[in-house]
Amino acid sequence: MDRRLKNSIYYRQKPTHSITKPKSKRPHRYLLEEAKKLREKVAFFSIIIFLVLAVYSLFYSEFFTLKNIAIDSTADINKEEAEDSIKSILASNFALILPQDNYFLFNKNYFRKKFQEQYSLNDLEIDKKYPDYIFFKVVEKVGQSLWVANEQAYLINLEGQVVRELPPDQLTSAKIPVIYDLSNNQVEVKDKVIEQRTLDLIIALYKNFESYQIPVVKIDYFKIDNPRANYIKLVAEQGFEIHFNTILPLEKQIYKLKRSLEAGKVDLNKIIYINLRISDQVIYR
């Protein structure tokens, strides 16, 4: 065989290694992938919309707004005024964005703190009823007093601090000590208007006067000449005054008063005042 022909056959039979091009995707596979991506987007946005609607429905819709308010109070407070205060706090936001009038977001601790800035309470019970009812039981602290200055009445707490203004008609129905400031100083809420020892003396007299068994005398109200005075004037229902101070022990002053009245030295129908502020003396006019 011709050598050139033999070489030609040899080269034609030698295996070759070629790289084949990948087959292109068929059109229906592209459509399936696009449909899958579309379904994922639709599902994602559906979840977002559902969550937004759920949040709005639960936290911001009228359905879960605490709008039915009931108050049970053992305290001497104005229920209409208390309800206005409750509505004002409910209309505020805790942590700036959480509405307090929402059934789920209502924060009892936040509410108590805000409410007790206006009212000095011994207890405040709060109960919610699904979906929009809220119940308050208010128990005010024993020992509060009414402070009267410039013809305006204020409630003061056990520390002598003004809690809030009161309507004038509560003066006649008050079951707590009423104290008139004869200096008529200007008063603002949260002001401390009386010395602690002076207020303690007034509260002790108001609570325990009947137990001292003072003949005939009954307390009407109290007066002080100024907030820093170390003495007080107890005004009896008969119109005369009894002057006590914060320096002498109260028991000693009460003893002097009882001894004078029992000895018949004082005619309560004719006197203007009885002064017990001087040690071992009873001065009356």
Structure tokens at 9: 């056959």
Q: What is the pLDDT of residues 138-197, one digit of tens each?
A: 876 656 889 999 889 998 888 898 888 887 766 666 678 999 999 988 898 889 999 999
pLDDT reported for residue 20: 54
Q: Are strands 231-236 and 241-245 parallel, antiparallel or unpaired?
A: antiparallel
Q: How far is residue 257's CA from residue 214's CA, in Å, rounded to a whole number?
A: 8
pLDDT reported for residue 203: 92
Q: What is the pLDDT of residues 99-144, one digit of tens each?
A: 888 888 888 888 888 887 777 666 788 899 988 899 988 876 656 8
pLDDT reported for residue 163: 81
Structure tokens at 235: 């005004």
> What pTM was computed for the model?
0.59
- Maximum Cα–Cα distance for the chain, whole Å? 168
Answer whether 10's CB lies under 8 Å from 1's CB: no
- Banded model confidence at residue 79, pLDDT cuts 50, 70, 90: confident
- Banded model confidence at residue 34, pLDDT cuts 50, 70, 90: confident
Q: What are phi and psi of 156, to 5 degrees?
A: -120, 150
Report the length, in residues, of the chain: 285
Return the residue matching tokens 């009414």: 146
pLDDT reported for residue 194: 94
pLDDT reported for residue 81: 80
**Please, what is the average pLDDT of the chain?**
82
- Banded model confidence at residue 206, pLDDT cuts 50, 70, 90: very high
Phi-psi region of 213 (alpha: psi -120 to 50; beta: other; left: phi over 0): left
Picking from 47-61, 222-236, 249-263, 265-279, which range would have the lowest pLDDT averaged per residue? 47-61
